[in-house]
Structure 1
Amino acid sequence: MRIRFISPDKIGAITSIILGWLSIFEAIRLYPYGNKILTGDHTFPGLIGVLLVIAGGTLLFERTSKEKNKPVLPRGRTAYIMIVSIGSLFIYCLLIEYIGYFFSTMITFVYLIKIIGNYRWIFSILIAVVLTTVMYLLFIVLLKTPFPSINLPF
């Protein structure tokens, strides 16, 4: 006997609602530590909780058709781009420890722009240098966020 009510969408909706209520409960618990209603440690969990409950509710009460499109896995160049992108981000995580934020980010940007966008090398390098410099100035210079740097042996 197959139960028709339990579908992946319904399970996801119920899970989303439960997690949303847990997040709202945490926001209520953190409310006394905040300064005002929209500033403090409770704001982000409260917002996420409300959005999860709304999204779960819409998914729970959504009408589904009998013939639902099955997901199709990507093939060919699209699958290649996805696998290479994920792999390059894993390599980026390893590189950032050894050659620092700036150079590892620039190398990864060049590679991703070239692979995903299929641009020429000179354009990929130019855009990567600009984006990496802007992010460096924003996070490290202006916001004073500590990022990994090169550890030279001398």
Structure 2
Amino acid sequence: MSQTFDKMTSIVLFIIGILFIAQATQISDSAYGSAVGPKTFPLALGIVLVLLSLRLFYETWRQAVKARLAKGPETPSKTSSIEIKKFLLLFVSALAYVFFLEIVGYVITTFIFLLIGFQTMERGKIISSVIISVAFSVGIYYLFSVILGGSLPSFPTF
């Protein structure tokens, strides 16, 4: 992607991470006095998002400095139409994922979303994409639902 897009994305993700942290701190503590309560996971995710967005901004900035030193001043790169198509495909896939999650269930919807995402980012390697998508979907469902006792939308009943 272009450096401008990466910088703007890192800033947007940083703001979302800060808002996520702020909202996670509003969640009430555990009623049993446990150190791990309902806000622990969302708070950790917000912190990870902030740290990763800072890393993305730093890496983009460092890459721009290296390019400027190596070539001198350069014209801003334009985002190609293929990159825009990939972004739009992933964005529409994410919206469809949210819409169909309750209807079709977590495992199937996540599998399809990951498969589309992997194939959008890198064509080919369909076997490894399928294996990773299945392993992630089933693994997270098993971990969250069976081991942790949480609830995710299960398989469809139609």
What TM-score do the two structures reach when normalised by structure 1? 0.52
Q: 1:100 to 1:42 in 2, by over 3 A?
A: closer
Which of residues 133, 140, 147 in structure 2 aligns to 1:142?
Answer: 147
Deviations 1:17-66 (Å, cap 9, x if unpaired)?
xx89xx5xx78xx89x9969x8778985xx97xx8xxx9xxxxxxxxxxx
Q: Distance in 2 between matches of 1:42 and 1:111?
A: 31
Q: 1:71 to 1:122 in 2, by over 3 A?
A: same
Residue aligned with 1:140, SS? helix
Q: CA deviation at 1:109?
A: 1.0
Residue pair 1:34, 1:41 contacting (<8 A) in 2 also:
no
Pick the structure with greater CA Rg: 1
Q: CA RMSD in A?
A: 4.1
Q: Distance in 2 between matches of 1:140 and 1:70?
A: 51
Q: Which runs of 5+ in 2 are unaligned?
A: 1-10, 55-73
Q: CA deviation at 1:71?
A: 7.8
Q: Distance in 2 between matches of 1:97 and 1:39?
A: 27
Corresponding position of 1:7: none
> Counterpart of 2:145 in structure 1: which amino acid?
I
Q: Does 1:76 align with 2:53?
A: no
Q: 1:97 to 1:72 in 2, by over 3 A?
A: farther
Which of residues 116, 119, 129 in structure 1 aligns to 2:121?
Answer: 116
Alignment of 1:3-152 (within 5 A): 44=43, 74-152=79-157
How many residues align? The count is 110
Q: Which runs of 5+ in 1 are unaligned?
A: 1-11, 56-68
Residue pair 1:110, 1:124 contacting (<8 A) in 2 also:
yes
Q: Distance in 2 between matches of 1:106 and 1:42?
A: 27
Answer 1 or 2: higher relative contact order, Cα 8 Å, separation at least 6.
Answer: 2
Aligned-pair identity in percent equals: 20
Which range is displaced more, 86-95 or 113-122?
113-122
Q: Distance in 2 between matches of 1:34 and 1:107?
A: 39
> Counterpart of 1:117 in structure 2: which amino acid?
E
What TM-score do the two structures reach when normalised by structure 2? 0.51
Q: CA deviation at 1:150?
A: 3.4
Q: CA deviation at 1:73?
A: 6.0
